[in-house]
C-alpha cells in the first residue's frame, strides 16, 4: 500500500506531517477551508480513491489495529464539544487502535481556543466549519474565548480584518462575513503558533496556558493526563527546551512521572549515607551557587555519600541524574510557598525513594518547606533524619560546619565504600536509559573515565564504551558498548532491520521489529544478519514497527557483524 | 442519502433499540382539545379526542424511532371503557364541531386495538358530523374494512403516517415497517369508499442532515400528493423514551429548524393542500430556530395552514444566514447537527 501521510516531527502525541493529496501537498496540522476540499475528502470515504479514508462512527467499536488508512475521520467529533471525557476517550481509543501513520481528522470541531489542545491530543486535520458557524451566531473568536460582535464598541483585536472595519455599520450578513474572516485568521494564526511549539517540543507548555481559558478545556487536559500510557508511549526521553512547570497540571506530565518511575524501578539499590539537598534555580544543580558552596565544603567526603535533590515537580533527583532531562532543564515559579499537590507528590516520591534503597543514615541538609517535607516523610516511614542546619540557613557557616561534622561521624560509623563520582553518573544514566542492570553489562569492571563534567566518556581495555552527551544528558553507545549491552540484554533497545546496510537515516519501512519500549531520542542498537549499528531513535519502537513511512533511526556508527 | 456519518445500523442504534419501553401510568383520560381546522378551504372549529387504547401494535412489537405515543397507552384498556370515555369527552365539549378527530395512540382500524363494536359505535355517533378523522397504519385500511365503516359513516377522513415517500428512510431511519406501495394500496381502498385521505409526513427523521431532511420532505409532498387529499407536515419533536431522544441527548439529533418547515411549505405548497402544526415549536425538544424568532414563525406556519397563503410568511431574522450555512455545511460534520 502506498502511504500518503508522513510524520516529519513529533512532540508527544502532536505531529507535523506531510499529506500528499490529489496533486497537492498539505502540511499538517492543517485546516481544511474550502468546500471543495471537504467534498473531496467526503467523496474519498466511499473508497476507490487516491487516499484510503476511513470513517469511524463509534470509537468504542474500533477493534485492534485492523484499521490501516491514510486518513481517519472521527465522525461526529462535534458531539464532544462540551464533553471533554467523551472527547479524550474517543481520540485515544482511535489513536491506539489504528495505524500510527494515518492522519486523524476531527471534523467541525476546531476553534482558535481548542485547536492547540486537539493537536496536542493527536489530531492532524481540522476544518473551518465551526468558526464559520460561530461567526454567523455573532461571535468573534480568540484563543482566549469568544466575544459577541454586537457587544464590541470598537475592534478588540488588531488583525488585518478587524483593524480596518467598524463593526457598527452594515447589515448582520456583512458583519458575519467580517467575523468569518477574523475567525479564520485567528484559527490559522493559532495553528501557526502550534506548529512553532511542536518544532521546539514545547506544545505542552502552550496547552497548559490555553486550557486555562475554560473549565471544559482544563478538564480535557486533566483527563488526557490520566492517559499516562498514551502520552508516555509518545514522549521523547529528552528535549532541549526547558520544561516550564507553571500549573497544577504540570505535575502530571508524562515525562515527570516517567522520570520518577525510572528512578525507583531502574536504578540499582544504594546503601550507606543519603544526603538530601534542596533544588536550585540553576541547572544542573551542581553548577548552582548553593550546591557549589555545600559540595566544596564536603569535597573530600563526597565519594562516600549518596546525594539526592528534593524538588518540585520531579520529587527526588539522584545527583547522578541531574544532567538528565527533565531534571537538567526545568523551571518553576519560586515563591517559597508550595501547594498541597506539590508537597504531596514530593513526599510520596521521597518516601518511595528511601524505601526502595537501603540507606543506613539520612542527612537532610534542607530548610523551610523542604524541611517540613522531610519531617513528614520521616514520620511516615519511621526513619530518622538528621538536620544539620537545625532551621538555620543551610549555607551559614555554622550549618555547614555541623554538616561536615555529621558526615565525618557517619562515615566513621558506617565506613561506606568509596566510589568514583564520575562513574556514578555513567552507571545511573546507563540504568536509567537502558533499564535495570544495563550498567552491569556495559561496565563489567570499573572503566577508565575521562572528560570534564559532564562530558565524561568511559573506556575499557582501550576501547570506548559510552560517551555522556552533555547537550541531552544521555549516554551515546559505541559499537563496543552496544555489543556488551546486547550480550546481556537480548533484544532490549534493539531495532531489527531488513537486509541492507544502514547509513544515515533508517526509515520505518525498513524496520522489521523494534523493542516497543524505545522512545523518541532513545539510544538504540540496529541489527540485521550482517551489521550492527548504533543511533538515535526518531520515533517510538512500536511506531517503527507499525509505520510504513517516516524516519525511524538516525544512525551514528555501523560495523560488520 | 449519505452513506457515511453516524447512521442507522451502527451499534449506537442497536444499543438503544429497547429505549421505548413504556413507563409510568396514564393521567387524564381521555385527552381532548378543540381547535381550528380546514374544511373545504375554510377554517372551522374542530374537536380532537385521543382514546386511551392499549396502544399501537407496531410500537408494542418494534416501534418507530421518533414515536413516544405508546407512553399514553393503557395496557388494561377495554372496549367498553374506551367507549365510555369517548362519550364522556363528547358530552364535555358538545357536538357542535364541523370536524371531529378520534384518534388512538395507534390504529383506529386495528380490531385488536379497538374492538369493531366500539369502533362502529363511535363512528355511528359521529355520522352527522361533516368530517370525522381517524388515524390508522395502512395495513388496516383495506377494501373490506372501508366498506364496512362506510355503511355506518360516510364522512370519514383516514389519516396515515406515511412519514416519507422514501422507502429507505422509512425502513431504516424511522423503522416504520411498511412501504410507499402499502400506502398507495390503503389510499386506493379508502378512496373506493369515498373517504378522503390525509398523509402525515415527518420533517427530519433521525440521521438526516437539515438539507437532506428538507429535500426528503419536499419530495415526499410531491410524491404523496397524488394519493392524498391533504398533507400534514409533522415537525419531528423529541418524545420521551424514543431513539430520537437518546440521539438528541448525545447531541446526535436536533429537531428541524422552523426555517426548514417554512421552506418545505414554500417549495411544496403548489403541489398539495398542506397543513402544519409546529408542536412544541421554539422549545429545545421541538422544532426551533435561534430563539428570538421562533414564536412568530410558528404562528405564521399555523396561519398558513388555515389559509394556504404563502404570503403568510413575512418574518425574517438574523439567524437565517446561520440556517443557510447549516444547510450547506452540516454534512461535513459526519453526523452531528452543527447548531444544537
Query: pLDDT per residue over B103-127, tens digit each?
Result: 998 999 999 999 999 999 999 999 9
Residue in B3, B326, B331 closest to A46 by CB: B3
* The predicted structure's pLDDT at residue A63: 66
- The verdict on a CB contact (< 8 Å) between B12 and A173 is no
What is the predicted ipTM? 0.88
The low-confidence residues of chain A, meaning pLDDT below 50, are 1-2
Alpha carbon distances (Å) from B5 to A111, B335, B336:
21, 5, 8
Residues on chain B touching A176 (C-beta within 8 angstroms): 321
* The predicted structure's pLDDT at residue B18: 41
* The predicted structure's pLDDT at residue B13: 40
* The predicted structure's pLDDT at residue A164: 73
Interface test with B, best of A133, A173, A176, A177 (most B CBs within 10 A): A133
Interface test with A, best of B14, B212, B247, B332 (most A CBs within 10 A): B332
Residues on chain B touching A31 (C-beta within 8 angstroms): none
Whether residue B5 has pLDDT greater than 80: no
pLDDT in tens, A198-207: 999 999 999 9
Question: B149, B125 in Cβ contact below 8 A?
Answer: no
Which set of grid coordinates corresponds to residue A339? 501547594
- The verdict on a CB contact (< 8 Å) between A61 and B11 is yes
* The predicted structure's pLDDT at residue A154: 62
- The verdict on a CB contact (< 8 Å) between B318 and A129 is no
What is the pLDDT confidence band of residue B26, given thresholds at 50, 70 and 90? very low
Q: What is the pTM of this model?
A: 0.91
* The predicted structure's pLDDT at residue B29: 57
CA-nearest residue to A62 within chain B is B11
Angle A515-A520-A524 from CA coordinates, rounded to 5°: 50
Q: How far is B210 from chain A (nearest CA, A)?
A: 14
Backbone φ, ψ for residue A530 (5° rounding): -105, -25
Of A334, A350, A157, A388, the closest CA to residue A264 belongs to A350
Chain B residues 261-320 with a CB less than 8 Å from chain A = 318-319
Beta-carbon contacts of residue A347 (< 8 Å; ≥ 6 apart) = A373, A376, A377, A380
Q: How far is A11 from chain B (nearest CA, A)?
A: 28
Number of alpha carbons in the 13 Å side-chain half-sphere of residue A148:
4
Cell 449506537, residue?
A: B12
CB pairs < 8 Å spanning A and B: 88
Question: A447, A460 in Cβ contact below 8 A?
Answer: yes
Which residues are registered as beta bridge partners of A513? A496
Interface test with A, best of B321, B334, B335, B340 (most A CBs within 10 A): B334
Whether residue B282 has pLDDT greater than 70: yes
Beta-carbon contacts of residue A261 (< 8 Å; ≥ 6 apart) = none
Beta-carbon contacts of residue A18 (< 8 Å; ≥ 6 apart) = A5, A6, A8, A25, A26, A27, A28
* The predicted structure's pLDDT at residue B10: 40
Q: How far is A35 from chain B (nearest CA, A)?
A: 8
CA-nearest residue to A81 within chain B is B251
B246 touches chain A (CB under 8 A): no
* The predicted structure's pLDDT at residue B79: 86
Alpha carbon distances (Å) from B81 to B53, B74, B77, B91:
9, 11, 7, 15
- The 3-state DSSP class for residue B210 equals helix
pLDDT in tens, B43-64: 899 999 999 899 999 999 889 9
Task: Tally Cβ neighbours within 10 Å of residue A382.
Answer: 6
Question: A156, A165 in Cβ contact below 8 A?
Answer: no
* The predicted structure's pLDDT at residue A391: 66
A307 touches chain B (CB under 8 A): no
Q: What gap in Å lies between CA A290 and CA A272, rounded to an integer? A: 24
Whether residue B28 has pLDDT greater than 70: no
* The predicted structure's pLDDT at residue B22: 41
Question: B231, B199 in Cβ contact below 8 A?
Answer: yes
Whether residue B237 has pLDDT greater than 50: yes
- The verdict on a CB contact (< 8 Å) between B333 and A35 is no
Question: B276, B301 in Cβ contact below 8 A?
Answer: yes
pLDDT in tens, B184-204: 999 999 999 999 999 999 999
Q: What gap in Å lies between CA A187 and CA A158, rounded to an integer? A: 15
Chain A residues 19-78 with a CB less than 8 Å from chain B = 35, 38, 42, 45-46, 55, 57-58, 60-61, 73, 75-78
Beta-carbon contacts of residue B14 (< 8 Å; ≥ 6 apart) = none
Amino acid at each position: 500500500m502506498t502511504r500518503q501521510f508522513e510524520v516529519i516531527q513529533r512532540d508527544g502525541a502532536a505531529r507535523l506531517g506531510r499529506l500528499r493529496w490529489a496533486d497537492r501537498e498539505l502540511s499538517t496540522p492543517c485546516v481544511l477551508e474550502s468546500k471543495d476540499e471537504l467534498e473531496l475528502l467526503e467523496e474519498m470515504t466511499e473508497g476507490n480513491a487516491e487516499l484510503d479514508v476511513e470513517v469511524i462512527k463509534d470509537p468504542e467499536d474500533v477493534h485492534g489495529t485492523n484499521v490501516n488508512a491514510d486518513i481517519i475521520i472521527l465522525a461526529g467529533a462535534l458531539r464532544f464539544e462540551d464533553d471533554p471525557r467523551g472527547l479524550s476517550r474517543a481520540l485515544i481509543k482511535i489513536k491506539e487502535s489504528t495505524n500510527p501513520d494515518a492522519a486523524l481528522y476531527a471534523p467541525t470541531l476546531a476553534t482558535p481556543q481548542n485547536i492547540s489542545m486537539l493537536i496536542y491530543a493527536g489530531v492532524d486535520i481540522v476544518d473551518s466549519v465551526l468558526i464559520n458557524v460561530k461567526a454567523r451566531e455573532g461571535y468573534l473568536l480568540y484563543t482566549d474565548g469568544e466575544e459577541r460582535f454586537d457587544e464590541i464598541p470598537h475592534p478588540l483585536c488588531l488583525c488585518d480584518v478587524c483593524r480596518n472595519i467598524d463593526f457598527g455599520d452594515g447589515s448582520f450578513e456583512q458583519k458575519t462575513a467580517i467575523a468569518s474572516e477574523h475567525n479564520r485568521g485567528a484559527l490559522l494564526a493559532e495553528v501557526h503558533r502550534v506548529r512553532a511549539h511542536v518544532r521546539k517540543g514545547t506544545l505542552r507548555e502552550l496547552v497548559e496556558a490555553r486550557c486555562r481559558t475554560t473549565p471544559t478545556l482544563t478538564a480535557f487536559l486533566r483527563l488526557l493526563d490520566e492517559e499516562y500510557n498514551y502520552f508516555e508511549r509518545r514522549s521523547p526521553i529528552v528535549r532541549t527546551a526547558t520544561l516550564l512547570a507553571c500549573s497544577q497540571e504540570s505535575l502530571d506530565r508524562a515525562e515527570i512521572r516517567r522520570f520518577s518511575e525510572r528512578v525507583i524501578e531502574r536504578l540499582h539499590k544504594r546503601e550507606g549515607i543519603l544526603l538530601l539537598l534542596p533544588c536550585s534555580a540553576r541547572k544542573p544543580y551542581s553548577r548552582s551557587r548553593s550546591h557549589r558552596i555545600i559540595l566544596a565544603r564536603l569535597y573530600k567526603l563526597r565519594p562516600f555519600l549518596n546525594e539526592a535533590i528534593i524538588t518540585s515537580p520531579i520529587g527526588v533527583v539522584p545527583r547522578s541524574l541531574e544532567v538528565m532531562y527533565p531534571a537538567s532543564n526545568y523551571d518553576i515559579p519560586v515563591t517559597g510557598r508550595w501547594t498541597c499537590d506539590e508537597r504531596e507528590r514530593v513526599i510520596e516520591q521521597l518516601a518511595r525513594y528511601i524505601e526502595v534503597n537501603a540507606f543506613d543514615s539520612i542527612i537532610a541538609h534542607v530548610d523551610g518547606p523542604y524541611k517540613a517535607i522531610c519531617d513528614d516523610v520521616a514520620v511516615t516511614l519511621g526513619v530518622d533524619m538528621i538536620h544539620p542546619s537545625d532551621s538555620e540557613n543551610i549555607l551559614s557557616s555554622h550549618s555547614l560546619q555541623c554538616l561536615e561534622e555529621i558526615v565525618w561521624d557517619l562515615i566513621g560509623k558506617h565506613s561506606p565504600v568509596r566510589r568514583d563520582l564520575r562513574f556514578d553518573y555513567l552507571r545511573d544514566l546507563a540504568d536509567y536509559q537502558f533499564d535495570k542492570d544495563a550498567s552491569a553489562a556495559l561496565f563489567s569492571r570499573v572503566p577508565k573515565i575521562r572528560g570534564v563534567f559532564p562530558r565524561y566518556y568511559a573506556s575499557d581495555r582501550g576501547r570506548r564504551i559510552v560517551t555522556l552527551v552533555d547537550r541531552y544528558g544521555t549516554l551515546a553507545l559505541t559499537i563496543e558498548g552496544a555489543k556488551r549491552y546486547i550480550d546481556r540484554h537480548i533484544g532490549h533497545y534493539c531495532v531489527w532491520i531488513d537486509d541492507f546496510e544502514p547509513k544515515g537515516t533508517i526509515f520505518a519501512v525498513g524496520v522489521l521489529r523494534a523493542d516497543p519500549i524505545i522512545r523518541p531520542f532513545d539510544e538504540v542498537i540496529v541489527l540485521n544478519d550482517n551489521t550492527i549499528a548504533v543511533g538515535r531513535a526518531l520515533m517510538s519502537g512500536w511506531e517503527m514497527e507499525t509505520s510504513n513511512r517516516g524516519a525511524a533511526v538516525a544512525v551514528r556508527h555501523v560495523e560488520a557483524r | 442519502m449519505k452513506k457515511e456519518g453516524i447512521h442507522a445500523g451502527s451499534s449506537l442504534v442497536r444499543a438503544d433499540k429497547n429505549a421505548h419501553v413504556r413507563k409510568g401510568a396514564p393521567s387524564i383520560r381521555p385527552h381532548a382539545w378543540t381547535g381550528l381546522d380546514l374544511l373545504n378551504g375554510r377554517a372551522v372549529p374542530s374537536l380532537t379526542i385521543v382514546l386511551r387504547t392499549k396502544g399501537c401494535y407496531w410500537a408494542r412489537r418494534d416501534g418507530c424511532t421518533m414515536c413516544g405515543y405508546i407512553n399514553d397507552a393503557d395496557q388494561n384498556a377495554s372496549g367498553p371503557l374506551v367507549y365510555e370515555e369517548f362519550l364522556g369527552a363528547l358530552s364535555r365539549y358538545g357536538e357542535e364541531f364541523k370536524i371531529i378527530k378520534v384518534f388512538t395512540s395507534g390504529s383506529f382500524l386495528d380490531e385488536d386495538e379497538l374492538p369493531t363494536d366500539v369502533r362502529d359505535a363511535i363512528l355511528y355517533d359521529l355520522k352527522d358530523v361533516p368530517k370525522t378523522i381517524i388515524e390508522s397504519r395502512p395495513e388496516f385500511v383495506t377494501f373490506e374494512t372501508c366498506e364496512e365503516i362506510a355503511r355506518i359513516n360516510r364522512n370519514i377522513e383516514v389519516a396515515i403516517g406515511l412519514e416519507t415517500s422514501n422507502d429507505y428512510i422509512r425502513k431504516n431511519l424511522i423503522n416504520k415497517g411498511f412501504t410507499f406501495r402499502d400506502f398507495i394500496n390503503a389510499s386506493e381502498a379508502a378512496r373506493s369508499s369515498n373517504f378522503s385521505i390525509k398523509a402525515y409526513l415527518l420533517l427530519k427523521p433521525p440521521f438526516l442532515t437539515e438539507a437532506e431532511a428538507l429535500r426528503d420532505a419536499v419530495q415526499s409532498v410531491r410524491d404523496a400528493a397524488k394519493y392524498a387529499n391533504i398533507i400534514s407536515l409533522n415537525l419531528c419533536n423529541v418524545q420521551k423514551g424514543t431513539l430520537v431522544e437518546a440521539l438528541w441527548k448525545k447531541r446526535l439529533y436536533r429537531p428541524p429548524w422552523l426555517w426548514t418547515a417554512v421552506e418545505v411549505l414554500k417549495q411544496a405548497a403548489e403541489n398539495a393542500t398542506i397543513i402544519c402544526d409546529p408542536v412544541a415549536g421554539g422549545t429545545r425538544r421541538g422544532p426551533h430556530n435561534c430563539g428570538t424568532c421562533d414564536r412568530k414563525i410558528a404562528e405564521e406556519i399555523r396561519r398558513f395552514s388555515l389559509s394556504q397563503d404563502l404570503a403568510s410568511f413575512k418574518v425574517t431574522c438574523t439567524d437565517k444566514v446561520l440556517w443557510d450555512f447549516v444547510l450547506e455545511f452540516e454534512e461535513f460534520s459526519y453526523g452531528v447537527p452543527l447548531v444544537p
